[in-house]
Amino acid sequence: MPRIICVAGARPNYMKVKPVMDALERRGAEVLLVHTGQHYDPAMNDVFFADLGIRPPDRFLGVGSGSHAEQTGRVMTAFEPLLDEVSPDLVVVFGDINSTLACALVTAKAGPLLAHVEAGLRSRDWSMPEEVNRVATDRVSDYLLAPSPDAAENLRAEGYREDQIHLVGNVMIDTLLANLERARASDVLDRFGLTRGGYGLVTLHRPANVDDPGVLAGLLKALGEIAGRCPLVLPVHPRAAGRLAELGVPGGIRLVPPAGYVDFIALQNAASVVLTDSGGVQEETTALGVPCVTLRDNTERPITVEEGTNVLAGRDPARIVSTVNGVLDGPPAPRRPELWDGRASDRIADVLLHGGSARTRPRPTDRPGPVHRPDLIGRPGRTDRTFPL
């Protein structure tokens, strides 16, 4: 059976790597877990490994924080000799963080097959670092494992071969459904003095929202107005903690420490509304059937808007307040997208273990030329581009 490296680097990866590792190992694959150390705060790291039952990493690279270039470069420098030593048949990367791109680039140059879980997601906003990471990672990947039909269509429109594209479903929902009963049994509501349906939940972490004091002040203004109708709970992401302390938080908004995975699912599941700038939370609330208002102008997960409970509100304070009031007055009906059924990891394992080797498979360069997308011109961000890179 093949030797496979699964790469995790930050909180958004942990919920994705666990079910894929389990599915591969159930089928007899040798799986090595590499943790880059992009997230190293115990509140963002250790608690998730414990909550999800993820075994300790086989290798920890310890790259830490830094600018995008510094962090990406450190991951590449640390991952390259490990790849030479281990000589895997396949490397699996997840999502869109800097570690994802860094390990993808090293793998593509070294020669093993490369699989990207959550391929094809697009926000059409080139100002988002994650968008650059997604597009570049897809370009060098052999297996493009798409979570939803829109992601698969994006890949087809960008000229990828059909044998590269696999619609497998959303692996994050595998983890959510596997842990939902544990979340429902959590005592986190009692610990925080909350009642089901009696509060809204807020998450803020994206640089565009928390690094600019003017933008963050506007969001806090909107949250303060909403809190007059619906008390809000905000688990504080380390990235936002300093800014929130500087600006001060309006009354009715309760700051709490970052929550572990099970407690956070419990908080989402019992909220009357969730306000977020997180892509993963958009997916989790859709699976849970909980109304979600996204504090961004775009989303790389449009299926949560089209087939779920998510509404895009942007970052204008008046629009946010109006949107939340409308959601509270008439919550959208729950709808769970197809293939968000808890079996995405099994489909991923089947694809990866029956797809051939680096010697027998066509590689990413064996493909048609780039496809020009005039229908994307004029959308927010640098979308007047020829895809792929």
Query: Which residue numbers are catalytic?
Result: 205
User: Does residue 236 come out as left (phi exceeding 0), alpha (psi in the -120 to 50 range) or beta?
Assistant: beta
Asked if 188 contacts 266 with a C-beta cutoff of 8 angstroms, the reply is: yes
> 386-387 and 371-372: which strand pairing?
antiparallel
Asked if 198 contacts 231 with a C-beta cutoff of 8 angstroms, the reply is: yes
Output the DSSP codes for 56-81. PPSEE-------HHHHHHHHHHHHHH
Q: From 12, 50, 17, 10, select the one nearest 279 (Cα to Cα).
A: 12
Q: Work out the number of other CB atoms within 10 angstroms of the CB of residue 256.
A: 16
Q: Partners of 233 in the beta sheet?
A: 201, 254
Query: Would you state the structure tokens that stand for residue 91, as one six-digit string?
Result: 């490397």
E strand residue ranges, 168-252:
200-203, 232-235
Residue 276: DSSP 8-state? E
Report the distance separating Cα 158 and Cα 135, nearest Å: 10
Spell 188-219 as b/e; 16+ CB within 10 A means b.
bbeeeebeeeebbbbbbbbebbbeeeebbebb
Residue 104: DSSP 8-state? H
Report the distance separating Cα 272 and Cα 253, nearest Å: 15
* CA angle (146, 20, 299) in 5-degree steps: 35
Distances in Å between the Cα of 171 and the Cα atoms of 87, 128, 134, 139, 286 are: 26, 23, 17, 21, 14
